[in-house]
Amino acid sequence: MSIQDQAREALAHQRQQHEQRHDAMLSRAEEELQSREVNSATDEAARELLAQQRLEEEQQQDAMLDRAEVARQLHELHSPTDEAARELLAQQRLEERQRQDAMLTRAEEEISSEGA
C-alpha cells in the first residue's frame, strides 16, 4: 500500500471518528435543549450556535482534506521521503486534534452558560 493510500485511509478514519464524536456532542446538546424548559429565544440561539459549529466543523474537515490532497500532489511531484510524509500527517493530526478540542470546549462552555 502506498503512502498516499495510507494517508487517505488514515484521514478517512480520523474524519469518521471525528464525525462520530461531533455527532455525539451535538446529540447530547440537542437532548439537553429538548429536556429543558426555556424560552424559545434561548432555544433558537442555542440551535443557531450548534448550526454554526457544525458549519465550522465541515469547513475544517474540508480544509484538512484539501491539505491532504495538496500533500499527495506534492508527493507525486517531488517524491518526498516517507519520513517527511509521516511528519506532515502527524502535524496535520495534531492541528486537527487541537481544533477539535477547541471546538468541543467552546460548545461545552456555551451549553453550560445556557444552563446557568
Q: What's the structural domain count of the chain?
A: 1
Q: Is the pLDDT reported for residue 36 higher than 70?
A: no
What is the band of 112 on the pLDDT scale with cuts at 50, 70, 90?
confident
Residue 107 CB coordination number (10 Å): 19
Question: Per-residue pLDDT averaged across 95-104, rounded?
Answer: 89
Mind listing the pLDDT tens digit for each residue in 43-93? Answer: 777 778 888 888 888 888 888 888 888 777 776 666 556 777 778 888 888
Residues 13 and 8: their CA atoms lie apart, in Å, by: 8
Provide the domain limits for residue 49. Answer: 3-115
Q: Is the pTM of this model over 0.95?
A: no
**Which cell is 14 given?**
480520523
